[in-house]
């Protein structure tokens, strides 16, 4: 898709979200719309912040391309591209559901906290899987010698 396609999709998502929030303002559905927008935007925003933080911490440019985004970690599970996409859609659906449930029960702040914790747990598991795969390959190379 490239940088331009990603930027365009991000722009469309943000503008659609702002439009939804603006049109729901002052109605009974305003909390629901805010929770849905939070759930939809959570994965790309939190993942981007996580990747930028990681790159800066390693001393490289935050704009330097690498394979540490969430979808790359999902692909390293060994799933086909279609199955990986479906898993990401399922995770995003869970984030939207968490946002709706916790947003209506406890408020948007608790909802955001639960989303960040869920995303962190999922990411930690995917990174662990990636590191295990890396060391498997290392051991395999050492055994061949």
CA distance 56 to 89: 28
Give the chain's mean pLDDT.
90
**What is the maximum span of the chain, computed from C-alpha positions, in angstroms?**
69
Residue with tokens 């999922």, as numbered in its chain: 122
* Nearest by Cα to 73 from 1, 130, 134: 130
Residue 83 has pLDDT above 90, yes or no: yes
Q: Which two tokens stand for residue 32?
A: 């629901």
CA distance 95 to 1: 25
Over residues 89-126, the pLDDT tens digits come to 999 999 999 999 988 888 888 899 999 999 999 999 99
Q: pTM for the whole thing? A: 0.83
Q: Domain extents for the chain?
A: 2-144
pLDDT of res. 136: 87
User: How many CB atoms lie under 10 A from the CB of residue 49?
Assistant: 12
């Amino acid at each position: 898709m490239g940088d331009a396609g990603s930027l365009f999709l991000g722009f469309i998502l943000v503008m659609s979200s702002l439009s939804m929030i603006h049109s729901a303002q002052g109605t009974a559905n305003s909390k629901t719309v805010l929770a849905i927008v939070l759930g939809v935007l959570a994965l790309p925003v939190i993942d981007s912040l996580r990747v930028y933080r990681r790159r800066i911490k390693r001393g490289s440019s935050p704009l330097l391309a690498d394979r540490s985004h969430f979808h790359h970690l999902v692909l390293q599970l060994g799933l086909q591209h279609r199955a990986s996409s479906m898993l990401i859609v399922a995770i995003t659906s869970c984030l939207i559901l968490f946002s709706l449930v916790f947003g209506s029960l406890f408020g948007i702040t608790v909802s955001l906290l639960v989303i960040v914790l869920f995303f962190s747990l999922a990411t930690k598991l995917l990174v662990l899987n990636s590191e295990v795969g890396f060391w498997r390959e290392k051991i395999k190379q050492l055994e061949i010698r």
